[in-house]
Structure 1
Amino acid sequence: MNVTYLQSKDNKKICSYNNILLHSAYNPQKEAERFVQTISADFEPKYVAVTGPALSYCIPFLRAKFPNAKLIGIHYTTEFLSDNADWDKVIFSDKSVQMQLYSYIGEEDASSVLFLSWKPSESAFPAEYRETWNEIKLFLTTSKNVLATRMFFNKRWTKNSIKFCNYVSKINSVSCDSNTPIVITASGSSLAGLLPTLKKFRNRFNLIAVSSSLYPLLYSNLIPDAVISTDGGYWAKKHLDVLEQFNVPPVPLFLSPESAISIELLKKSPVIPLCYGDGIETILLNFCKIPCVRAERNGTVSGTAAELALALTNTDVYAFGLDLVFSKGFQHTQPNSLEAQAATKDNRLRPLSTRTGIQGFDTGSLSVYKEWFSSREPAFEKRFIRVYEANSPFSEHFGNIRELPHTAFETKMQKAAKVQKPFSVPKSGYIPQNNEKISELLCQIKTKLMDAKKQNIPVTNLDEKLVLWIKTVSLGEYLTLEKTKSPVNDKIIKDFEDIL
C-alpha cells in the first residue's frame, strides 16, 4: 500500500494515499470535528460505522455526539492497524464486510446502525469504497430477509422446541477419536460422482450427513455415523423421514430443538441435542436438564456442521457435495426427498424438463452461503477442505477454502488408520419427564407477561429471559415496542398463547 505519513501545520500526524491527503494538512482534529457536526440522524443509533476513517481523528467527536452508540471503523487497508484502540470494533475490507457486520451486529439491530463515509478516502480508495458500500447494502438486505424469516417461522420453531423437549428420550454423547478425520456430506449434485470414493474408504473417517444428503447415502448402502438437521421447516422433516424407509440400525441425530422431526422418530432415535446458547431452546434444554453439544447458528446447516466437526476432531474435516452453485438440471444428488414429492406433480403441460429447467436459474440465493464459506477465519480455513471430483464441472473455487480433488483425498485415506472408536454412545443417567415441567414453565411465563402489561413496564426494562420469550413469539411487535419504549400489549400475550 502506498500510504505516506506526514505532519500537519499544527504538528499532528496525517497521511496520504497515492498522493491524496486523507486528513487536513492544517488541522485534522478540527476537520474531524466539523465532519461530526454535519451528521444528522432521525433515530438514536446503537452503532455508528465509519468507512475509510484512516487515522480515526473522528472518534472523540463521535463519542461525544453518540455516547450510547458502539463505534465501528471499517478500513480499506491494514496500514491503519495501529490506530484502532478507541474503536469498539474494527473491520478490514479484505474480508467480507457483510459477514463481519452481521457477525458483530446481527439482524435485529441492523436498522439501528448509522453508516458514515470519511470523504477523503472515497477518492483515495474508489474501488474499495464501492465494494464496501455494496457489502453494507448486502448486510442490510440479508438482515431484513432473516428478520422476515424469523417473524414468519418463530412460532413454529418454538413449538418444535417444546415438542423436542417433551418427547426426546434417547440421548447420545459424542465418543469419537479426536484424531480421526470427519467427512461431511451435503446434497449438491457433485456428491453423486463422489459416492464411490466414500464407499471405498468408509472405514477411514467418521461420516456426518447433512439431512438432505441422507437419501442418496442410504440408497448407496452408506450409513453415516450421524445425521445433522437444524431446519424447522417441512422439507427438513421429509429428509429425516427417509430413515423409516431403510432397514438400517438407528442412526444418531444431531438436532437443534427447533428442528422439524416426527414425534415417532424423535422418540425412538438416538439424539445428540445441539444448543446455540442464544435462544429459547437454550432455556428449555437447561430447564429440562437435557445434555447438549454447543453449536454455532448459521444460515446453512452445512455451516453449522462444518464448525461442529472442526470442534469434534483435531485433524481435517472434508466436505463432499458442497457445491453452493446452481447447475443445469437437478440441484441435489438423486434420489432426493424433494424430488420424490415434486415428481408426483409432473404432467404433459409441466414435465420434468420444465421443472428442472426453472430450478437451474440462478436466483442468487446461494451467494450468501458461498460468501460465508469463503470468508472464514484462518483456523477454519486451515482444516476445512472441500473435496470435488477431478475433471468435473464442480471444481469451482471457493475463495479461501482449501480444496482437494477426490484422487488426492483417496491418497490421504490410503495412509489413514482405520476407525476404532464408535462415533457416539448412549448417555447414561438421563430420564425424560418433561411434559408437566414445561407446561408449568409456560404458565409462569404467561403470568409474568400479564403482570408486566398491568404494571406498564417498558419492554426494554424487562428481565432478559422474558424479553427473549417475547422476541421468540412476537419479534416484529417487540421491535416496534422497543423503539417507543412501550409496555407489553395484548398482541404479545395472544401470540404467546398461540404456542401453548
Structure 2
Amino acid sequence: MLYKKNLAILKKRYPAYQEILENGTLDDGNITIVETKNGSKTALYQAEGDEYLLHSKYNPEKEAERLVAQLITDGVTAVVVLGFAMGYHLKELYNKVKDKGVKIFVVENNPALFREAIRYNDFTDLFDYQDFYLYLRDDYDSSGLINFIEGHIDIVFEELTLFKLSTAKRYFGQTLALIEKDLEFIIMKVKANKSTSKKRGRVWEENLLNNLYLMLKKPGVRELHGLYSGKPAIVVAAGPSLDKNMHLLKDVKDRAIIIAVDAVVKVLLKNDIVPDIVTVIDGFKSTLKYFDGLDYGRLDQTILLTIPQFYNHILKSWPGPLVFSPGYGVSEGIIHWIEKQRGFLGRLATGGSVAHLAFVLAYLLKADPIVFVGQDLAFTGDITHVKGSDYSLNLEDERKNSNKEYLKIKDIYGDEVWTRSDFHFYLQWFNRLILGIKNRGCQTEFVDATEGGARIEGTKVMTLKEVLNNYCQEKNDKKEEILIRLARYKAEWNPKIKEQFKLIIKNLKVIMEWAEQGLLFVDKLLDCANEKDYQKIVEKLKHINYNIDILKNHVMFFESEMYEIYTEINVDFRTDLEKYTKLVEFYNLLIKGSSKALKILGQHYQKITLKEGV
C-alpha cells in the first residue's frame, strides 16, 4: 500500500508528522480526488462557492514536467516550494536536482491534502533524499518556518529560489501572502549575508585568527545571561533623534544599564555619558573610525561585547572587560574548534546590525524594560545619523553617494519619513523578533523612546523623560556584580590543546603540498597532447582536490576567500583554459592562505606554551 510505504520513509525524518496524518479528526471536506484522462489522480478543491483542479485533468505528469522545466536551477543550492498538493511537480523537481545536491524545502499548510497525495503516488525516493525538508502544518507559524529553513541552510553562502505551485494561491488562502513575505525576508537576509561575506570575509577571518588566543582566554556572551534581570536597559543607537534627548542619559547611572553601539560612543563621551556596554559587530576598516581618538581612559569600567572578527589591536587595547559574541553562519568551523578547546561561548542571533546585537544582549541580560533611544531606522529631519557621528550626513548628500534604494515608511507619529533599504530590513528584523518574543508569552516591556523615526511594532512609544520617571528611579548595583563576575572569569582549556594546534599546523602544511602538486599537474595538462595521458593527469587532479576537500574541514584558513572558486572548479566551464585558470587561482589561494594561517597559529602556539610554562 503506497500510503504505508510513503509514511514509513517519512516518519524516519519527521516522526511528529505521523501523528498529524493519522489523527482521526483530520479531514477537509473541500477535497475530492478525481481521475485524470491518463489514469492518474488529481484533486478537486472547493472553497467559497468556487471549485478548481490543483493539477491538470489530462496529464498531471506532463504538466509538472513543463512547470519544472521553466525553473532555473543553475547555481541554485536550495529550492523552496510552496504547495505539495498531489506532488507531481515535486517528483519532477527531485529528478531534476537530485544529482546536484540541491536542497528541496516544501511548505504545505493542508495536511489532509498531503495525506491524499501519499495515498496515490510513490514519494519514497523524494522522502529518502537527504536534502528534502518538509514543513507541514495547518496553523501557520511565521517564526517556526523561518527557524526551520534557516536551521537547514548555510546562512551566508546559500543561493535560494522560490517555486510556487500556481494553484497554491487558491487553496492556501490568505496564509500564502504571509508565507511569501517570510520567505522573501529569508532570501533577502541570505543575500545580504553573502554580499557582506564577499566584501569582508577575508578580513574577518584574518581578524578572527589574530584573536584566537584572546578567544581562548576571555568570556563568551553566555556568561552574561540573566545578570541584569528585571532592571531597565537603554539601548542607544546613532540615529538623528538622539540629539533631542541624549542629555537625559547623564541621569541614569546605577539606575539603568546603557548599551551603546560603536558608532555613538565618541558622541556620548563628548556629552559626558559613559556607556556601560559597547557593542561591535562589523570587523571592517570603516568601523575603525569609531575608535580613532577614543578616550580609552574613561572606559575602564565599560564592557566591550564584540564579534570574534573585529580588529585585534583594538581588542587588546580595550581597557575594560572584553566579551566575545560569535554570530551564526560566519567562520563557524574555526569558532567551533575554539570552543572545543575552551567551552561554548554562546550565541546571539542578529539581523546584521550592531543595534540588533545591543538589543538581543539586553534581552539575554533579562533586562526589563528594554528601551530604544536613537533607534530611528530612518532619516528623521532628513539627517542620517546623530550630529557628531562619523557617518552623519544630510539625506541629499547621502543619496548622491549611495547606490542603495530609498523608500518612505510610517514614523512614530503616523507621518511619512524617508528610510534606506538596509534600515528597512533592520526594522523588519526588530518587528519580527519582538512579535516572536511576545508570542512566546514573554512579559518584558519594549519601549521606543527615540522620539522620532520609524515605528517599531510591539513597542510602547514614550519620551525618554517619561521612561526615566517611570522606570529609572531606583538605584541598583547589578552593573558592579557583572564587572566582578567578569573579573573572576577563567576559561578551562582542553588538556590536549597543544596537540590540537600541532595537528592543524601539520594539516596546513599538507594542504600546501597538495596545492603545489596541483599547480604542477595543471602545467602538465596544458602541455599534454595525448588523450590517455591527459585523462591520467585529470584523475590525479581529482585525487588532489578530494584530499584537499577532506583536509580543509580540519584546518583554519581563509575559507570565504576561496569559497566561490572552490565551488566553481567542480562545474563545467566554457573552455578548459578557464577551468585551468580557476584551478591555478584556487591552489594559489590555498598556498597563500595556509602560509598566513601557519604564521598566525604559530604565534598563538607560542603564547599557549608560555602560558603553561612549558
- Cα distance between partner residues in 2 of 1:378 and 1:460: 45
CA contact 1:329–1:359 (8 Å) conserved in 2: no
The verdict on how the C-alpha distance between 1:245 and 1:24 changes in structure 2, with shifts beyond 3 A counting, is closer
Quick check: 311-320 or 117-126, which moved more? 117-126
Give the equivalent residue in structure 2 for 1:211. Answer: 262
- Cα distance between partner residues in 2 of 1:135 and 1:294: 23
TM-score after normalising by structure 2? 0.63
Matches within 5 A, 1:229-308: 229-241=280-292, 243-244=294-295, 247-260=298-311, 262-263=313-314, 265-266=316-317, 268-276=319-327, 278=329, 279=331, 281-283=334-336, 285-286=338-339, 289=342, 292-296=345-349, 298-308=351-361
Matches within 5 A, 1:375-394: 375-376=432-433, 378-381=435-438, 382=442, 383=444, 385-389=446-450, 392-394=451-453
Q: 1:456 aligns with which of 544, 561, 577?
A: 544
When the two chains are superposed, the root-mean-square deviation of aligned CA atoms in Å is 4.7
Give the CA deviation at 1:413: 0.4
Give the equivalent residue in structure 1 for 2:372. Answer: 319
| One-letter amino acid matched to 2:304 | L
CA contact 1:306–1:384 (8 Å) conserved in 2: no
Give the equivalent residue in structure 2 for 1:156. Answer: 203
CA contact 1:191–1:333 (8 Å) conserved in 2: yes
The verdict on how the C-alpha distance between 1:482 and 1:65 changes in structure 2, with shifts beyond 3 A counting, is closer
Tell me the SS of whatever aligns to 1:423: helix
- Cα distance between partner residues in 2 of 1:380 and 1:163: 36
Give the equivalent residue in structure 1 for 2:595. Answer: 497
CA contact 1:8–1:24 (8 Å) conserved in 2: no
| One-letter amino acid matched to 1:450 | M
Give the equivalent residue in structure 1 for 2:482. Answer: 423
Give the CA deviation at 1:174: 3.3
Matches within 5 A, 1:478-493: 478-483=566-571, 489-493=587-591
Structure 1 residues without counterparts, runs of 5 or longer: 343-351
- Cα distance between partner residues in 1 of 2:336 and 2:505: 15
CA contact 1:310–1:316 (8 Å) conserved in 2: no
- Cα distance between partner residues in 1 of 2:218 and 2:44: 61
Q: 2:82 aligns with which of 46, 51, 70?
A: 51
| One-letter amino acid matched to 2:375 | L
Give the CA deviation at 1:429: 3.6
| One-letter amino acid matched to 1:147 | K
Give the equivalent residue in structure 2 for 1:199. Answer: 250
The verdict on how the C-alpha distance between 1:196 and 1:470 changes in structure 2, with shifts beyond 3 A counting, is closer
CA contact 1:162–1:284 (8 Å) conserved in 2: no
Give the CA deviation at 1:177: 3.7
Give the CA deviation at 1:258: 0.6
| CA-to-aligned-CA distance 1:41-98 (integer Å, 9 cap, x gap) | 56486433223445767555655665554432346xx6x3666797724396977999
| One-letter amino acid matched to 1:155 | R
Give the equivalent residue in structure 2 for 1:372. Answer: 429
Give the equivalent residue in structure 1 for 2:18. Answer: none
Tell me the SS of whatever aligns to 2:272: coil
The verdict on how the C-alpha distance between 1:218 and 1:17 changes in structure 2, with shifts beyond 3 A counting, is farther
- Cα distance between partner residues in 2 of 1:463 and 1:193: 56
The verdict on how the C-alpha distance between 1:228 and 1:69 changes in structure 2, with shifts beyond 3 A counting, is same
| One-letter amino acid matched to 1:9 | V
Matches within 5 A, 1:213-228: 213-228=264-279
- Cα distance between partner residues in 1 of 2:560 and 2:157: 15
Give the CA deviation at 1:257: 1.6
CA contact 1:183–1:208 (8 Å) conserved in 2: yes
| One-letter amino acid matched to 1:446 | L
| CA-to-aligned-CA distance 1:178-224 (integer Å, 9 cap, x gap) | 33333221111222323244333443322221111212322232222
| One-letter amino acid matched to 1:258 | Q
What is the identity percentage for the equivalent residue pairs of Structure 1 and Structure 2? 13
| CA-to-aligned-CA distance 1:129-162 (integer Å, 9 cap, x gap) | 7897787677656644532432232221122112
**Is it true that 1:72 corresponds to 2:122 in the alignment?**
no
Q: 1:174 aligns with which of 224, 238, 258?
A: 224
Tell me the SS of whatever aligns to 1:39: helix
Give the equivalent residue in structure 2 for 1:146. Answer: 193
| One-letter amino acid matched to 1:327 | T
Give the equivalent residue in structure 2 for 1:348. Answer: none
The verdict on how the C-alpha distance between 1:49 and 1:63 changes in structure 2, with shifts beyond 3 A counting, is same
Quick check: 52-61 or 194-203, which moved more? 52-61
CA contact 2:238–2:385 (8 Å) conserved in 1: yes
- Cα distance between partner residues in 1 of 2:466 and 2:88: 52
How many residues were matched structurally? 476
| One-letter amino acid matched to 1:90 | Y
Tell me the SS of whatever aligns to 1:318: strand
TM-score after normalising by structure 1? 0.75
Give the CA deviation at 1:447: 1.6
Tell me the SS of whatever aligns to 2:246: helix
- Cα distance between partner residues in 2 of 1:137 and 1:178: 35
The verdict on how the C-alpha distance between 1:368 and 1:93 changes in structure 2, with shifts beyond 3 A counting, is farther
Give the equivalent residue in structure 2 for 1:346. Answer: none
| One-letter amino acid matched to 1:409 | V
The verdict on how the C-alpha distance between 1:213 and 1:281 changes in structure 2, with shifts beyond 3 A counting, is farther
| One-letter amino acid matched to 2:106 | G
The verdict on how the C-alpha distance between 1:411 and 1:431 changes in structure 2, with shifts beyond 3 A counting, is same
CA contact 1:168–1:266 (8 Å) conserved in 2: no
The verdict on how the C-alpha distance between 1:223 and 1:457 changes in structure 2, with shifts beyond 3 A counting, is same
Quick check: 140-149 or 266-275, which moved more? 140-149
**Is it true that 1:413 corresponds to 2:463 in the alignment?**
no
Quick check: 446-455 or 19-28, which moved more? 19-28
- Cα distance between partner residues in 2 of 1:448 and 1:18: 67
CA contact 1:162–1:438 (8 Å) conserved in 2: no
**Is it true that 1:15 corresponds to 2:15 in the alignment?**
no
**Is it true that 1:35 corresponds to 2:64 in the alignment?**
yes
- Cα distance between partner residues in 1 of 2:474 and 2:263: 28
Matches within 5 A, 1:116-127: 116-122=163-169
CA contact 1:201–1:413 (8 Å) conserved in 2: no
Tell me the SS of whatever aligns to 1:48: strand
CA contact 2:342–2:492 (8 Å) conserved in 1: no
| One-letter amino acid matched to 2:82 | T
Give the CA deviation at 1:282: 0.8
- Cα distance between partner residues in 2 of 1:459 and 1:296: 34
| CA-to-aligned-CA distance 1:321-376 (integer Å, 9 cap, x gap) | 2221123453222332445xx9xxxxxxxxx8974685897552322222222222
- Cα distance between partner residues in 1 of 2:145 and 2:210: 38
Give the equivalent residue in structure 2 for 1:90. Answer: 135
Tell me the SS of whatever aligns to 2:80: strand
| One-letter amino acid matched to 1:388 | A
| CA-to-aligned-CA distance 1:392-415 (integer Å, 9 cap, x gap) | 443x323x4323313653454057
More helix by share: 2
- Cα distance between partner residues in 1 of 2:142 and 2:52: 19
